[in-house]
């Protein structure tokens, strides 16, 4: 298979099987759309999320990192700490020390 740069994404073949590895151009396109405030498809959201765990070079630029972090925060959200967690941890620590 020849290593040729393309502008389209082959979503029918797993990225790991392509010679070029994951489709980083697709990540760049999706990140640019997010940075411009455009809506992205659910498929692009899933791809960006999955690709982000596999390809750190795609997020080398600090601007891209900020966009990706904002994307993750909006998709995942932050969960609050359970109210009794500090007391539970301290109780276990005291039990271990006794």
Residue 90 has what pLDDT? 93
Residue 8 has what pLDDT? 42
* Statement: residue 13 has pLDDT above 50: no
Helix (H, G, I), strand (E, B) or coil at 4: coil
* Statement: residue 93 has pLDDT above 90: yes
As a whole number of angstroms, the distance between CA 26 and CA 52 comes to 12
- Summarize pLDDT for 60-81 with one digit per residue, the tens: 666 777 787 788 778 777 678 8
- DSSP H/E element including 81: none
As a whole number of angstroms, the distance between CA 92 and CA 21 comes to 46
As a whole number of angstroms, the distance between CA 11 and CA 29 comes to 15
Q: What is the token pair recorded at 23?
A: 């489709």
For the question of whether the overall pTM of this predicted structure is more than 0.85, the answer is: no
């Amino acid at each position: 298979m020849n290593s040729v740069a393309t502008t389209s994404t082959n979503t029918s073949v797993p990225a790991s099987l392509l010679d070029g590895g994951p489709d980083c151009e697709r990540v760049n396109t999706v990140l640019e759309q997010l940075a411009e405030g455009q809506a992205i498809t659910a498929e692009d959201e899933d791809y960006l999320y999955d690709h982000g765990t596999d390809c750190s070079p795609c997020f080398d630029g600090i601007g891209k990192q900020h966009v990706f972090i904002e994307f993750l925060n909006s998709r995942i959200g932050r969960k609050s700490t359970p109210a009794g967690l500090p007391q539970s941890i301290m109780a276990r620590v005291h039990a271990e020390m006794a």
